[in-house]
């Protein structure tokens, strides 16, 4: 009896690791698993994790997946890995982790962003060199932070890996990366798809950093094969491929079918992202739009905000609610939350670039300060932050006719309607809830087929395997669109008025 051909997709995010087993023939997800991560944080912007936590989570997830009764580990052909972008994993000459990884949401490196930008000739010079600005979320400032704050650890630095690269390294023993995730480092030339000597020298004029970078490979190539000892542990056959993988946004783009021009994806996760595929670089002279590469051989202009479900999670904790009750409270509130307006900058903000900003709840009166309004304003405020990002994309000619919504917040019908109303365009959700893990599995299929000599396009694969839940699609409500446009103008004025006090 001929076995199935199955593929594993891993999505290692900030809060935890998800995994799926995907069947090539049926297009079905056969099994799913999840494991949580911890966090090291303080009130000064520190957000770190031990990379070992990701590995422990991956081991648990893969073991869970292949232990299912309908899954045979010997049928696994390839694995794809999606990882949180921008994290800095420093390795010594022996390939050992030197210290905890600083994450995308770590804002303690603002001063280093300014130093690198100045050394590279100023903001315009930086954008001209790499297509992006040096944002606090990106990897570059974290590397300089290590040099300035832990020089003994910097002296040990031999290899710089991103989170998904490190998981691939654990799986294969190979230190490689691809253009999608590499383009979020702020030392990668997005237009020309290569490392930027100018930015690397601005970080360290000794030239050391060029020798610390992993090999750059194309997105349809394998990093390598699963190490024999791991293959034995999981029950895999010899030669299971590990695809190039990519950053979480690049891989979620695959998982939502965002691999051709015209599709826009928005994610309601811990952070919020909006992105669209392009056949050419899309570079914002003001540096607010991230001019990323895709993990499919193209480009993925993207805007990221740092505060989305963090707003609702903090509200849940404050009011001692579960998710169902949060939604129930918010549903009882009127659109606009009776004048309550949240600027949700709990973790500082990336777009607009306000790393020292703080959250503000504005418009409180004795009548509107209710749990219902507080819950709805958390959803609305986070969505206004995303609306700012959408407007940045619109300035670059990206105008969505439909938004494909993913992330934890997308599970809420109310929040999906709020997004449709604030964005002013239809919203649809993919049938598969875990776009990152599904996208990783599809990229693994792409890599596997190309390795066999089959020249299939990514678009053909996503047309086959990415299905939209059209029945639960939502149209904007015209009265709400008009109301939210007015409130959004107030949101922008409030943000502008508060900027002088952020410090």
Provide the strand spans (E) within 238-385. Answer: 241-243, 246-247, 264-268, 272-276, 290-293, 299-305, 341-343, 360-362
Residues 6+ apart with CB under 8 A from 19: 8, 9, 10, 11, 32, 33, 34, 58, 61, 62, 64, 65, 437
Vertex 493 angle, CA 489 and 494, to 5°: 115
Catalytic residue among 204, 248, 372, 421: 248
The phi, psi pair for 293, rounded to 5°, reads -85, 155
Question: DSSP 3-state assignment of 93?
Answer: coil
Distance CA(363)–CA(4), nearest Å, equals 58
Distance CA(288)–CA(468), nearest Å, equals 30
Provide the strand spans (E) within 363-447. Answer: 403-406, 427-428
The verdict on whether 248 is a catalytic residue reads: yes
Classify residue 49 by its DSSP letter.
E
Distance CA(66)–CA(410), nearest Å, equals 28
For residue 102 the two structure tokens come to: 């600083």
Question: DSSP 3-state assignment of 9?
Answer: strand
Q: Can you tell me which residue has the tokens 């599995």?
A: 441
Torsion angle in degrees (nearest 10) through CA of 88, 92, 97, 102: -20
Distance CA(154)–CA(151), nearest Å, equals 5
Question: Concatenated DSSP letters for 179-238?
Answer: HHHHTTSSSEETTTTEE-HHHHHHH-TTSGGGGGPPEEE-TTSEEEE--HHHHHHHTPPT
* Residue 200 and residue 143 in contact, taking contact as beta carbons nearer than 8 Å: no
End-to-end CA separation in angstroms for the chain? 67
Q: Which residues are catalytic?
A: 248
């Amino acid at each position: 009896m001929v076995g199935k051909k199955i593929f594993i997709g891993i999505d290692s995010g900030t809060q935890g690791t998800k995994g799926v087993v995907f069947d090539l023939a049926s297009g079905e997800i056969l099994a799913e698993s999840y494991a949580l991560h911890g966090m090291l944080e303080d009130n000064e912007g520190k957000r770190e994790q031990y990379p070992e936590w990701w590995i422990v989570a991956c081991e648990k997830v893969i073991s869970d997946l292949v232990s299912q009764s309908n899954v045979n580990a010997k049928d696994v052909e390839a694995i794809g890995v999606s990882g949180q972008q921008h994290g800095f994993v420093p390795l010594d000459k022996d390939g050992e982790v030197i210290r905890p990884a600083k994450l995308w949401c770590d804002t303690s490196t603002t001063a280093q962003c300014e130093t690198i930008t100045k050394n590279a000739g100023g903001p315009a010079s930086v954008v001209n060199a790499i297509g992006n600005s040096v944002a606090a979320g990106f990897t570059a400032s974290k590397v300089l932070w290590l040099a300035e704050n832990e020089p003994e650890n910097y002296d040990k630095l031999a290899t710089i890996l991103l989170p998904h690269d490190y998981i691939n390294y654990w799986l294969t023993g190979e230190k490689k990366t691809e253009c999608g995730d590499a383009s979020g480092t702020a030392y990668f030339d997005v237009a020309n798809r290569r490392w930027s000597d100018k930015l690397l020298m601005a970080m360290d004029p000794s030239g050391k950093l060029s020798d610390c970078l992993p090999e750059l490979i194309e997105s349809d190539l394998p990093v390598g094969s699963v190490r024999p000892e791991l293959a034995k542990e999981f029950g895999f056959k010899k030669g299971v491929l590990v695809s190039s993988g990519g950053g979480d946004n690049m891989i979620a783009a695959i998982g939502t079918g965002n691999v051709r021009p015209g599709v826009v994806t928005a994610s309601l996760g811990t952070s919020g992202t909006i992105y669209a595929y392009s056949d050419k670089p899309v570079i914002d002279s003001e540096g607010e739009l991230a001019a990323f590469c895709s993990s499919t051989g193209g480009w993925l202009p993207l805007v990221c905000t740092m505060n989305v479900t963090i707003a609702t999670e903090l509200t849940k904790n404050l009011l001692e609610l579960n998710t169902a009750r949060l939604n129930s409270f918010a549903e009882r509130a009127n659109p606009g939350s009776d004048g309550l307006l949240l600027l949700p900058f709990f973790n500082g903000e990336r777009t607009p670039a306000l790393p020292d900003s703080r959250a503000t709840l504005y418009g409180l009166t004795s009548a509107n300060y209710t749990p219902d309004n507080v819950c709805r304003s958390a959803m609305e405020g986070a969505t206004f932050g995303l609306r700012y990002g959408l407007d940045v994309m619109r300035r670059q000619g990206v105008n969505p006719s439909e938004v494909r919504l993913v992330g934890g917040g997308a599970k809420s019908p109310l929040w999906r309607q709020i997004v449709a109303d604030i964005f002013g365009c239809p919203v649809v959700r993919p049938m598969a809830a875990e776009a990152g893990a599904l996208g990783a599995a599809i990229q693994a299929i792409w890599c596997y087929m190309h390795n066999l000599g089959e020249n299939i396009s990514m678009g053909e694969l996503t047309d086959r395997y990415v299905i939209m839940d059209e029945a639960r699609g939502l149209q904007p409500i015209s009265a709400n669109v008009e109301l939210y446009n007015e409130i959004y103008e107030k949101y922008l004025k409030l943000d502008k008025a508060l900027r002088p006090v952020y410090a």
